[in-house]
């Protein structure tokens, strides 16, 4: 890797460049339900008023997703910001692989199918049960089930992780009913495909970054051992839990198994095959470890079935997890982090547990570890293991404490941090908590601004996607708020399609770029432009094939 070239016109700054990623904070389209606009964010408003600013695209094709109807997410967002270019991402790669037949001609699929045909076992699918297209898509699942039948597999069981975050918060039955009809249609000629178990994605199976392994343990016991409350159908399970726990949303639904005559129909046994069909890696690594690792100490797995296991994609390219996967992830090279390390730039990456992997692994192009141990410091602040609406400020003050020390220390040239509040609290759908989370974060932005001023640093404020800016469901045609039967707005817990901020706070500006007036920053760009922007602010020339910086250096 070659070092970056110095930019001679750059006059330098006394302090570091600080990249602040306000996770899930966009500019809302609708007044009603925009918790960002409703929050009292005096510090951000003041910073913006005296700084050049613009908006950036953070969804759809701007971050490598198939269409502009696809919401962005934290993983592809940090990929884009960290690598400075747009790569085709998970959903698009999987869809192409299915359409071309590449998935089904690959060795991983052949292993999965031949294993159950030889053992007369069951093919199990575990994954997020929606068409949110952030972690998974039901079209991928149905295509694989059809192909399995065509290739002579006789028995399929689906383990459904209900969404309620990337789709409507109580939309589970909108997916269950047509899927059950699909299974009935294909279950002919000796082929038997049924739902075997399920539960909410924030209650079982889909933990990440080791935040709450008890979720994975509940999922393991449910999917593998069939140890959960029994129901005749998935619909019955959903309706029962909604009746018994008023106000519960899909992501929190309790675990269940489908049973006949008191016996679960979907336990996982020796000789079976298992496909974890999420294409996104962060909430796939822990359940994968439970299936694959011989020396596993996170919980007592009890009976560990001997299965042929595959992930939809390679979830960790450095440790090669899982051992078998159906579709290769994008090959992201020459990231900003790698260039900075080659150039001798001292870097700090920091967040709390919920987004620590985003400012490290995802920012570095899905790479575990550092490019240079001597130059890079990674700092994880442990997240609270409580529902986010109960601690909506999360660890933003603790993150700010560490960053303020780092700014003043003189040890770092580039600091990147992520405040998870807007995304993690936004997903709860609790409006008051989201407003609180924004105001808590804003207090910390004010503290950072003072530190930036004192050190003669530069602060770039942006986001990876929208979420808190769009907290109510709206009619797609009229834009009117959709209300529930009790007269309250229907909460929207998924990401938005809204643009995100880009603010350049440069207290010791020395005239190297246009700083005020119309067109101060280059318009119409995506968040992939953050990399070139930060490189320029560090005094270097961005790689020629990076997406352009927002800075108008010709002024």
pLDDT tens, residue order, the chain (555 aa): 899 999 999 999 999 999 999 999 999 999 999 999 999 999 999 999 999 999 999 998 999 887 787 788 888 899 999 999 999 877 889 999 999 999 999 999 999 999 999 999 999 999 999 999 889 999 999 999 999 999 999 999 999 999 998 899 999 999 999 999 999 999 999 999 999 999 999 999 999 878 899 999 999 999 999 999 999 999 999 999 999 999 999 999 999 999 999 999 999 999 999 999 999 888 999 999 999 999 999 999 999 999 999 999 988 765 779 999 999 877 889 999 999 999 999 999 999 999 999 999 999 998 889 999 999 999 999 999 899 999 999 999 999 999 999 999 999 999 999 999 999 999 999 999 999 999 999 999 999 999 999 999 999 999 999 999 999 999 888 999 999 989 999 999 888 999 999 999 999 999 999 998 877 999 999 999 999 999 999 999 999 999 999 999 864
Q: 533 φ, ψ to 5°?
A: -60, -50
Give, to the nearest 10 degrees, the angle between helix 42-49 and helix 431-455: 50
> Could you tell me which residues are beta bridge partners of residue 53?
503
- The whole-number pLDDT of residue 280 equals 86
Q: Evaluate whether 235 touches 176 at the Cβ level (below 8 Å).
A: yes
Q: Are 146 and 287 members of one domain?
A: yes
Last residue of a domain, one of 295, 327, 359: 327
Rounded to whole angstroms, the maximal C-alpha distance in the chain is 78
Give the DSSP per-residue string, 272-320. -EEEE----STTTHHHHHHHH-SS--SS---S----EEEEEE-SBTTTT
Which residues lie below 8 Å from residue 118, measured CB to CB, with a gap of 6+?
A: none
In this structure, the answer to whether residues 318 and 335 fall within a common structural domain is no
Nearest 5°: the CA angle 354, 360, 365 is 120
| Together in a domain, 53 and 156 | no
Q: What is the pTM of this model?
A: 0.73
Q: Two tokens at 157?
A: 């069981």
552 occurs within a structural domain? no
Extract the tokens encoding 414.
């580039």
Count helices and strands in the chain by DSSP H and E runs: 17, 18
Specify the residue for token string 């198994």: 257
Among candidate residues 74, 97, 197, 529, the one labeled active-site is 74
pLDDT (0 to 100) of residue 502: 97
Question: Is residue 276 included in any domain, yes or no?
Answer: yes
One domain for residues 305 and 344: no
Q: From CA 311, how far away is CA 309, in angstroms rounded?
A: 7
17 found inside a domain = yes
Say yes or no: 100 and 70 in one domain: no
The domain boundary, picked from 284, 304, 327, lies at 327
Considering the domain architecture, whether residues 33 and 179 belong to the same structural domain is answered as no
**What is the count of structural domains for the chain?**
2
For the chain, the distance separating the N- and C-terminal CA atoms, rounded to the nearest angstrom, is 31
Any domain includes 555: no
Q: Are 180 and 63 part of one and the same domain?
A: no
Residue 414 lies in a domain: yes
Domain match, 75 and 40 both? yes
Same domain, 185 and 83: no
Is 74 labeled as catalytic in the residue annotation? yes
In a domain, 548, yes or no: no
Strand partners, 521: 551
Last residue of a domain, one of 327, 356, 384: 327
Cis upstream peptide for 322 (omega within 30°)? yes
Q: Could you tell me the residue range of the domain that residue 191 belongs to?
A: 91-327
- The structure tokens 């990929």 sit at 79
CA nearest neighbour of 283 among 315, 308, 255: 315
Cα angle: 269, vertex 274, 279; to 5 degrees: 160
Strand (E) positions, 23-167?
53-56, 123-128, 155-162
- pLDDT, residue 31, reads 94
Closest C-alpha among 21, 120, 1, 8 to residue 448: 21
Q: How far apart are CA 430 and CA 255, in angstroms?
A: 23
437 and 471 share a domain? yes
Q: Helix crossing, 172-186 with 234-244: angle to 10°?
A: 160
CATH number at residue 225: 3.40.1450.10
**β-bridge pairing 123-128 and 540-541:** unpaired
**CATH number of the domain bearing residue 415:** 3.40.720.10
On whether residue 230 sits in a domain, the answer given is yes
C-alpha to C-alpha distance for 403 and 416, rounded to whole angstroms: 9
Q: In what order do the strands lie in the sheet with 500-505?
A: 53-56, 500-505, 458-462, 17-22, 414-419, 347-352, 376-381
Predicted pLDDT at 318: 54
Answer whether residue 211 is part of any domain.
yes
Phi and psi, residue 243, nearest 5°: -75, -45
pLDDT, position 496: 92
- One domain, residues 423 and 514: yes
Quick one: 112 and 99 in the same domain?
yes
């Amino acid at each position: 890797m070659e070092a970056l070239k110095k930019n001679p016109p750059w006059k330098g700054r006394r302090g570091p460049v600080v990249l602040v990623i306000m996770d899930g904070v966009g500019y809302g389209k609708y007044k009603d339900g925009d918790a960002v606009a409703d929050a009292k964010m005096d510090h951000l408003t003041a910073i913006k008023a005296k700084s050049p600013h613009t908006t950036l695209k953070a969804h759809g094709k701007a971050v490598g997703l198939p269409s502009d109807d696809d919401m962005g997410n934290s993983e592809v967002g940090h990929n884009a910001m960290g690598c400075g270019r747009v790569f085709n991402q998970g959903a698009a790669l999987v869809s192409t692989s299915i359409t071309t037949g590449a998935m089904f001609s690959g060795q991983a699929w052949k292993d999965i199918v031949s294993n159950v045909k030889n053992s007369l076992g069951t093919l199990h699918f575990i994954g997020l049960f929606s068409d949110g297209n952030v972690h998974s898509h039901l079209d991928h699942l149905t295509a694989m089930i059809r192909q399995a039948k065509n290739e002579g597999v006789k028995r399929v069981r689906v383990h459904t992780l209900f969404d309620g975050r990337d789709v409507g918060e109580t939309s589970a039955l909108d997916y269950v009913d047509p899927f059950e009809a699909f299974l009935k249609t294909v279950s002919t000629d000796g082929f038997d495909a049924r739902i075997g178990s399920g539960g909410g994605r924030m209650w079982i199976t889909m933990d990440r970054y080791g935040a709450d392994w008890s979720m994975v343990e509940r999922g393991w016991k449910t999917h593998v051992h069939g140890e959960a409350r029994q129901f005749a159908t998935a619909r019955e399970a959903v309706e029962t839990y909604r009746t018994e726990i008023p106000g519960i949303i899909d992501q929190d639904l309790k675990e269940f198994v489908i049973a006949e005559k008191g016996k679960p129909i979907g336990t996982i046994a020796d000789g079976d095959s298992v496909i974890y069909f999420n294409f996104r890696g962060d909430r796939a690594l822990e359940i994968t470890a439970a299936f694959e690792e011989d020396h596993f100490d996170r919980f007592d797995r009890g009976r560990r079935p001997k299965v042929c296991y595959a992930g939809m994609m390679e979830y960790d390219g450095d440790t090669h997890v899982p051992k078998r996967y159906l579709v290769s992830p994008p090959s992201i090279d020459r990231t900003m982090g790698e260039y900075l390390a080659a150039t001798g730039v001292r870097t700090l990456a920091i967040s709390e547990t919920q987004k620590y992997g985003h400012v490290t692994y995802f920012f570095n192009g899905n790479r575990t570890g550092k490019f240079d141990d001597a130059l890079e410091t990674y700092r994880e602040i442990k997240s609270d293991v409580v529902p986010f609406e109960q601690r909506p400020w999360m660890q933003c003050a603790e993150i700010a404490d560490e960053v303020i020390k780092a700014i003043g220390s003189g040890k770092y040239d580039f600091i990147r941090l992520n405040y998870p509040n807007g995304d993690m609290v936004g997903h709860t759908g609790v409006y008051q908590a989201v407003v609180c989370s924004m105001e808590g974060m804003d207090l910390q932005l004010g503290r950072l601004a003072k530190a930036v001023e004192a050190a003669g640093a530069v602060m770039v404020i942006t986001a990876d996607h929208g979420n808190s800016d769009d907290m109510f469901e709206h009619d797609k045609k009229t834009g009117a708020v959709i209300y529930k039967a009790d007269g309250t707005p229907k909460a929207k817990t998924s990401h938005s399609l809204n643009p995100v901020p880009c603010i350049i706070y440069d207290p010791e500006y020395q005239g190297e770029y246009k700083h005020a007036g119309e067109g101060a920053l280059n318009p119409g760009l995506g968040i992939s432009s953050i990399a070139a922007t930060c490189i320029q602010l560090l005094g270097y020339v961005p790689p020629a094939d990076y997406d352009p910086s927002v800075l108008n250096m010709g002024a």
